[in-house]
């Protein structure tokens, strides 16, 4: 399983996208490119990148408008965004930060500065369980080795059940609908029935066994949540 972070570069100028992509790929990141906000939004829904580098000034829909749209959608609200812009005035920076942007880099910038800022934002934004093991009541998920253990004994999970458990363990005590789980675990443009979620929930509970199946709780009329508290 690849551990390289996926970065979406959104800028209407191809030379700038290319320059950024070269710098990031040399630093070990995987890059996707978009030349406008509409294309970028579709990619974000489909691919759920780890980071978005977003140009402020673009035709039709500006970067700041796209940032606001992404922050209002639960499925994209937590994706880190760094705004790239020639606008250096304090008022513009405040406007960007109020829209939910995580950091702000004024053009021109050096590739070294960009990579350093990107790493800093990713460190702040990455929850446990994405790169570090996370443990709940003796159940441990290690994303690097792609292993799940219960009290030290290995649990055999399929790839979808692993992703589902990883999402649950890093987003505890909140109820999610089947549609939200499809978006966040399967991806926004994967067309499967919502009841598919129920099948994988059953498989996950069976694999967890009597000691831990209670952690995956059914929320009537809503969907599912992962919690140590009694439902």
pLDDT band at 125 (very low <50, low <70, confident <90, very high): low
Provide the domain limits for residue 102.
6-125
Q: Are residues 116 and 177 in the same domain?
A: no
pLDDT of residue 126: 63
- Please check whether residue 80 lies inside any domain of the structure: yes
Q: Are residues 81 and 109 in the same domain?
A: yes
Q: Are residues 168 and 214 in the same domain?
A: yes
pLDDT of residue 1: 34
Of 96, 125, 154, which marks where a domain is finished?
125
Q: Are residues 120 and 31 in the same domain?
A: yes
| Structural domains counted in the chain | 2
Task: Write the CB contacts of 140 (distance below 8 Å, at least 6 apart in sequence).
Answer: 133, 134, 148, 149, 150
Q: What percent of the chain has pLDDT over 70?
A: 90
Q: Which of 55, 46, 72, 65 lies closest to 16, judged by CA?
A: 55
Strand order in the sheet with 223-226: 176-177, 223-226, 216-219
- Please check whether residue 179 lies inside any domain of the structure: yes
Q: Are residues 108 and 206 in the same domain?
A: no
Q: Are residues 88 and 199 in the same domain?
A: no
- Greater confidence (23 vs 184) lies with 23
Q: Are residues 107 and 194 in the same domain?
A: no
The enclosing domain of 175 has a CATH number of 1.10.10.10
- 167 near 158, Cβ under 8 Å? no
Task: Write the CB contacts of 211 (distance below 8 Å, at least 6 apart in sequence).
Answer: 138, 150, 151
Q: Are residues 83 and 181 in the same domain?
A: no
The enclosing domain of 52 has a CATH number of 3.40.50.2300
Name residue, tokens 């209002």: 72
The pLDDT tens digits for 139-167 are 999 988 889 999 889 999 988 899 999 99
pLDDT band at 2 (very low <50, low <70, confident <90, very high): very low
- Please check whether residue 231 lies inside any domain of the structure: no
């Amino acid at each position: 399983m690849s551990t390289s972070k996926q970065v979406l570069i959104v800028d209407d100028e191809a030379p700038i996208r290319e320059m950024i992509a070269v710098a990031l790929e040399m630093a070990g990141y995987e890059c996707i490119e978009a030349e406008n906000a509409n294309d970028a939004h579709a990619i974000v829904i489909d691919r759920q990148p780890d980071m978005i580098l977003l140009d402020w000034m673009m035709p039709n829909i500006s970067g700041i408008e796209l940032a606001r749209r992404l922050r209002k959608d639960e499925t994209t609200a937590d994706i880190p965004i760094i705004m790239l812009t020639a606008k250096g005035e304090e008022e513009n920076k405040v406007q960007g930060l109020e829209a939910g942007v995580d950091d702000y880099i004024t053009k021109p910038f050096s590739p070294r500065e960009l990579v350093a800022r990107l790493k800093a934002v990713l460190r702040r934004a990455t929850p446990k369980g994405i790169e570090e093991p996370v443990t709940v009541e003796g159940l441990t998920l290690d994303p690097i080795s792609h292993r799940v253990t219960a009290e030290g004994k290995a649990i055999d999970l399929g790839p979808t059940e692993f992703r589902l458990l990883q999402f649950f363990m890093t987003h505890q005590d909140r109820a999610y609908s089947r549609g939200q789980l499809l978006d966040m675990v399967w991806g926004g443009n994967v067309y499967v029935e919502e009841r598919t979620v129920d099948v994988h929930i059953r498989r996950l509970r069976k694999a967890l066994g009597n000691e831990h199946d209670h952690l995956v709780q059914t929320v009537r009329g809503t969907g599912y949540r992962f919690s140590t508290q009694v439902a």
